[in-house]
Structure 1
Amino acid sequence: MVSMGNVWDRTSEFLSDNLAAVLPIALLGIFVPLVLIDNFGALQQGATPGLRLALSIGTIVATLLMIWGSLAITALTLDRAAARSAARLALRRFPAFLLVLLVMGLALFVLIMPFGVIMAVGGVDLTTVAPDAMPAMSGGAAAMLLLYLLMLLVVGLWLMARLAVVAPAIVGERLSVAAIARSWRLTRGVALRISGVILLYVVVSSIASSAARFGVGAILKLLIGSDPGVSIATVLTSIIVAAVSTAFTVLYAVFATKLFVALLAREGGRHEAVRAQ
């Protein structure tokens, strides 16, 4: 039986023993992209079309860098080798991970399609719906929309649990789309416990990020002042929020990898240390 408590203990032990190796990857591959993405979003306001395009491209590049950083943390956790080796391995497994993300993105698109169907049945003209406004619809359609949303949240949490070790499988076993089926098999019988951990993680990380953005951000704006768009206060706030988000991102990547190793042991298998190819 896989104990979530033991997996957390191994996660904490790894982070305390390997902080010096984790920190450079986390800073370059997660923290810096998060700061850039946050500030690029603020700069979009009132930007010229050319600048807006450049900022959008920069956001995509920063997002890809974050994916690489998370994979590098996974590689480092699987094999306590040098950070440079983990970075190279993450780069090699990067295309496979993007392919898996594409497949899962298409599946997510299928899951959210009923929202549009329900709104259309409720008399909503989807071509005129504002992205930041709730469209007017019949009471029955609104009830169906709420019911489907609740069902989707439950199903989504369960799917997150079943796919929790996709990234470690891609890196550690050098799989591609087959990593989805691999994760599905490994998490059989423990999805409920993993769901509880994921739910706790989402709640705690969301509260911490919100406190950093709105609590600390409000204090900085009062102390420093804030102009529209990017200012010293907003940049400092983005740095603090990025630091909190980086810590939780690293924590989850290490936890998922340690869970992968524990699930392999339960299966009767043994994790083969990641080797440079």
Structure 2
Amino acid sequence: MVKMSNVWDRSTEVLSGRGGMLAGIAIPTLFVPAVLRALWALATAPVPGTAAGPAAALVGGLLAIVIALISLWGQLALIAAASDPATQAADARRLATARFLPALGIAALLVAVLTVLALPPAVLAIQAGFDFTAPAGAPQPVTMAPGTAIGLSLYLVVLGLVILFVGARLVPLYAVVVNERRGIGAIAEAWRLTRRHTWRIVGVLLLWGIVLLIATWAAQAVVGTVFRLALGAGALNVVAFLVAVVGAAVSTVFSVIAIVFTAQLYVALVRRARPAA
């Protein structure tokens, strides 16, 4: 049985020993895109009570796709760098490029499955009068029968639990893609590797999510308060951007930690499942 404490210890060693290399990959692929996304959101923020124009929405959608692609490549490079101590930065980038298309195909498949699973509640919400294109915060006169509302709530709870369970089983998915040169078969291999470790991984995911939320909220709250006092009420946009930058920095740090943990979990699971590997 793989002990999560041992995986955390190995992850800490990788972070301390390869921190510079990991930062060199994470900053341009995770942090900078997040900052650009925040800057775009502030630059194109609609007037309260109105929706964003079609051109801004289109450009924003394209920007989100580009950022997602860059982030995916960065994750693959970080996994490669964190999986094998012999892998150098150039090797990690080369591996990420070589395995990008298989990883992208798997990501597209998983997104398609999630989209299908999300269709029933979305259809029910539309039938009840909910407008997904309405500006954020605008009143929505939604009418739904009590039985339908209860069924929808139960569906969403079950869907959340299923996503958590399946997500735990597929935690080493991209590590399998990078290190074993697998395509769609990486899903089955990741599922096999995490057998009998599901609830330990679920616990780690929940703990990581709680710590991330608290750390992000605390950092943004402190920075927001400090800069509002320093810059005054007339610089709300600047303060909002600085808060977003801090949030992106915290998210990047935690993402790197999670990716390194994922890579080291994969290494530990493989050693247990294939002692001769």
TM-score, normalised by the number of residues in structure 1:
0.87
2: distance between equivalents of 1:155 and 1:258? 25
Of 156, 164, 172, which residue of structure 2 is paired with 1:149? 156
Q: Does 1:77 align with 2:82?
A: yes
AA of the residue aligned to 1:173: E
Give the drift of 1:270: 5.3
Q: Does 1:182 align with 2:186?
A: no
1:58 corresponds to: 63
Q: Deviations over 1:163-217 (max 9, x none)?
A: 1010100000011111111111111111111011011111111222222334422
AA of the residue aligned to 1:43: A
Of 121, 128, 133, which residue of structure 2 is paired with 1:124? 128
2:33 corresponds to: 33
Equivalent residues of 2:106, 2:184 under 8 A apart: yes
Equivalent residues of 1:225, 1:233 under 8 A apart: no
2: distance between equivalents of 1:131 and 1:55? 15
Give the drift of 1:137: 1.4
* Percent identity of paired positions between Structure 1 and Structure 2: 37
1:274 corresponds to: none
Structure 1 pair 131–23 and aligned structure 2 pair: CA distance change class (3 A) = same
AA of the residue aligned to 1:59: A
1: distance between equivalents of 2:203 and 2:144? 35
Q: Deviations over 1:18-57 (max 9, x none)?
A: 1121111111111111111111122222476555544443
Q: Deviations over 1:115-150 (max 9, x none)?
A: 135447xx6146688474663312222222222222
Give the drift of 1:228: 8.2
Segment drifting more, 153-162 vs 218-227: 218-227
Equivalent residues of 1:39, 1:235 under 8 A apart: yes
Equivalent residues of 1:119, 1:141 under 8 A apart: no
2: distance between equivalents of 1:114 and 1:37? 30
Any idea what SS the aligned residue of 2:99 has? helix
Segment drifting more, 77-86 vs 7-16: 77-86
Segment drifting more, 34-43 vs 135-144: 135-144
Alignment of 1:153-172 (within 5 A): 153-172=160-179
Of 89, 96, 105, which residue of structure 2 is paired with 1:90? 96
Of 90, 103, 111, which residue of structure 2 is paired with 1:105? 111
1: distance between equivalents of 2:177 and 2:233? 44
2:250 corresponds to: 244
For structure 1, the 5+ residue unaligned runs are 272-277
1:196 corresponds to: 203
Segment drifting more, 256-265 vs 139-148: 139-148
Structure 1 pair 218–270 and aligned structure 2 pair: CA distance change class (3 A) = farther
Structure 1 pair 129–17 and aligned structure 2 pair: CA distance change class (3 A) = closer
2: distance between equivalents of 1:260 and 1:67? 18
1:42 corresponds to: 42
1:6 corresponds to: 6
Give the drift of 1:62: 2.3
Which runs of at least 4 in structure 1 moved beyond 6 Å after TM superposition? none
Equivalent residues of 2:129, 2:143 under 8 A apart: no
AA of the residue aligned to 2:25: I
- Residue-pair matches, total: 268
Of 215, 218, 231, which residue of structure 2 is paired with 1:211? 218
Give the drift of 1:269: 4.4
